[in-house]
Amino acid sequence: MNKKFTTAFIFMASLFSLQIQAQEFETATEAVKNMGVGWNLGNTLEANSQTYHDFTKDNYWGQQGLESETCWGQSKAKPELIKMMKDAGFGAIRVPVTWYNHMDKDGKVNAEWMKRVHEVVDYVINQGLYCIVNVHHDTGADSDSFKSWIKADEANYTQNKARYENLWQQIAEEFKDYDEHLLFESYNEMLDKLSSWCFASFASTNKYDAAVAKSAYNAINSYAQSFVTTVRNTGGNNATRNLVVNTYAACCGSGTWNDHLKEPLSQLTIPTDPVANHLMVQVHDYPNIANGIANVKKEIDDMMAAWNTHILSKGIPMILGEWGTANVDEGDGKTDYDVRRDVMFEFVDYMIAKCKENNVATFYWMGLSDGAYRSLPAFNQPDLAERIAKAYHGSDFAGTYPTENDFNISYLVEYEKDWAELFLYGNYNSVSALKLTEYKGLRIEMDDNYGSKLQVKVYGDATGSSFKEAYYTLSANSKTTTVNFENAKTGSTVSRITLQTNVGATKAKINQVALIKSDNSEVKLSPTTAWGCTLSTESTPVSGIHELHYTPQTDNRIYNLQGQQIAKPQRGIYIQNGKKFIAK
């Protein structure tokens, strides 16, 4: 065999081998179909705080540690939670991550934070689920250029292009060996310099500014292209990893009340990609179902038609990365789940059915398991979780949906400073006032006597941001304290109830806490963090629920000679545990 022929043969064989290996990663279309229904691990790794920001100095970058994960009241993510979601019928988990508060001024991500993100990703991957990791609240409506530093604006892109690409290079390098179950999402809800929702420049004086809109859409497309190019250039499995780009503000094109509503879809330019069929587009949708199910169905149909016109018809698959309802009902803190559950369930059925028809994967935003429920883990909306699963898998699907009644629970609170507070009822974001004609008190059972250390603080009637307040010291003679609400001190309502320390750093354990109604029946409460404290739980499963232990990805993964991880090696030479072997 002559030398020229031999060289050509080797080249063609290598090219053929690469083509075969490229098929090991499913296409974006296949991935969307295989995800089924998904859930967002929300208010967790994307939570962030401005508490430590000194606006007079350029020291905002990297101001938070691992405590940011729980600073919005959620429990620390654990593998049992992901196992619960899998057993309930969910096939994919979106893991929103905020990075600015864990990056130094030069754009380097804190190693401990990257390690924690890596752990949570492994929780998902180890369950055989799809996982989406993104850049989340680095975009958004905040005017602080340190916090929401990524804006849909051409000048912003020019200024931050290098930092953005450097961030994605670090993320991509960290996970380059992961298989097709891990996807990367470019950015979350990126807004223009005016922080416009619905479509670019909507927040302008005239509700539309052509120059601002053009700059916004150009910037979105530039950021999307930077994302794809940066990830692909890191090689390994990132060469064919499925990637997700979002429309402007993740707008879905829903509605007909303005001629510009479809622009986020029509003005999105799909990035140039060196590999075919490995990109998908994400949108979000939170319709107002109070207008009636018929109107919601019509809105969904219109939205789907727009998706087909501008994206799906071009062969680009889509995911509905966040969805739910408008939620709060008339300012009283109750949600659609509370006040119109039947309509909400019908909406769930229709949304999932139409998305499934169009091969669009859905990721429900938060809810289902929230706050302390996640640490058990258990569902606080088990019937909604089951409805979502059955809407996709069919009415005969039999998932498992544990509730708090499946556990004996104690709450461990660690106070960090004087006057720190733990929410026993209510929170900062949603206040549903209790009428004292219906509720007369609170019962709290501790593991010990804390009369000299802790007190119950009751927030009553509100005037603007101020509340009438009443304080009740815990019993010094008993582990159980009963608080009788006093109208003279709190007015006619109770808005929030906290457990407050007056001795600085201290620890306590709550075995049970409940509201007492006027008829002496009780409503069990689940504490959440307020400020200056951390919260964890001790729980004993009643039956059938067992602890899982986190196990990192092992070193037994198989790679081809191009550094790509291979799930099913065919004939050829591969690397495992740093050594070559031949698959026959």
For residue range 285-334, list pLDDT tens digits in order.
999 999 899 999 999 999 999 999 999 999 999 999 999 998 766 556 67
At residue 29, φ and ψ (nearest 5 deg) are -65, -45
Q: What does the alpha-carbon distance between residue 307 and residue 187 come to, in Å, rounded to a whole number?
A: 20
Nearest to 543 by CA among 415, 406, 410: 406
What integer pLDDT is reported at residue 371 of this predicted model? 85
**Is the omega angle on the peptide bond into residue 377 within 30 degrees of 0, that is, cis?**
yes
Measured CA to CA, the distance from residue 563 to residue 574 in angstroms comes to: 9
Alpha-carbon torsion, ordered 431, 436, 438, 443, to 10 deg: 80
Rounded-to-integer distance, Cα 115 and Cα 138, Å: 19
Question: What is the amino acid identity at position 117?
Answer: V
CA 452 to mean position of chain CA atoms: 40
Name the H helices within 290-439: 293-310, 336-339, 341-357, 382-393
> What residue type is assigned to position 213 of the chain?
A
3-state secondary structure 145-181: CCCCCCCCCHHHHHHHHHHHHHHHHHHHHHCCCCCCC
Q: Find, among 499, 510, 489, 495, the residue nearest to 454 by Cα.
A: 499
Check whether 385 has a pLDDT greater than 80: yes
pTM score: 0.77
Helix (H, G, I), strand (E, B) or coil at 321: strand
CB distance 447 to 410 below 8 Å: yes
Residues comprising the chain, all counted: 584
CATH class given for the domain over 406-541: mainly beta
The model's pLDDT over 340-382, given as tens digits with 9 standing for 90+, comes to 999 999 999 999 999 999 999 999 999 999 987 898 899 999 9
User: How far is residue 111's CA from residue 105's CA, in Å, rounded to a whole number?
Assistant: 15
Sole residue written with tokens 């031999």: 6
Instruction: Report the C-alpha gap between 25 and 291 in whole angstroms.
Output: 43
Euclidean distance between the first and the last CA atom of the chain, given in angstroms as a whole number = 25
Tell me the β-bridge partners of 456. Answer: 472, 499
Indicate the average pLDDT of the chain: 88
Q: Is the pLDDT of residue 573 over 80?
A: no
145 — pLDDT class (breaks 50, 70, 90): low
Residue that the structure tokens 């750093």 belong to: 505
Rounded Cα–Cα distance for residues 3 and 24 (Å) = 32
Angle at 99 between CA 95 and CA 104, to 5 degrees: 155
- pLDDT tens digits, residue range 76-110? 999 999 999 999 999 999 999 999 999 998 999 99
In the chain, where does the domain assigned CATH 3.20.20.80 lie? 26-402
Q: Minimum mean pLDDT among 35-49, 145-159, 274-288: which range?
A: 145-159
What pLDDT, on the 0 to 100 scale, is given for residue 140? Answer: 82
Query: Confidence band (pLDDT; 50, 70, 90) for 22?
Result: very low
**In the chain, which residues fall in CATH 2.60.120?**
406-541
User: Number of helices and strands (H, E) in the chain?
Assistant: 12, 24
Burial 101-136 (b: 16+ CB within 10 A, else e): bbbeeebebbeebbebbeebbbbbbbbebbbbbbbb
pLDDT tens string 178-190: 999 999 999 999 9
Distance CA 139, CA 147 (A): 8
Q: What residue type is assigned to position 376 of the chain? A: L
The tokens describing 22, both together, are: 């490229």
pLDDT digits (tens, 9 = 90+) for 168-220: 999 999 999 999 999 999 999 999 999 999 999 999 999 999 999 999 999 99
In this prediction, residue 63 has a pLDDT band, given cuts at 50, 70 and 90, of confident
DSSP symbol at 289: G
Task: State how far Cα 79 lies from the chain centre.
Answer: 15
Residue 447 banded pLDDT, cuts 50, 70, 90: very high
Between the alpha carbon of residue 260 and those of residues 253, 255, 276, the distances in Å are: 9, 10, 30
pLDDT of residue 261: 98
Beta carbons within 8 Å of 212's beta carbon, 6+ residues apart: 192, 193, 194, 196, 200, 201, 204
Beta-strand pair 243-246/182-185: parallel
CATH of domain 26-402: 3.20.20.80
Taking residue 478's Cβ as centre, other Cβ atoms within 10 Å add up to 12
- CA separation for the pair 170, 227 (Å, rounded): 12
Q: Which residues pair with 507 in a beta bridge?
A: 414
pLDDT at residue 56, as a whole number: 43
Q: Which residues of 30-44 are buried (b: 16+ CB within 10 A; e: fewer)?
A: ebbeebbbbbbbbbb
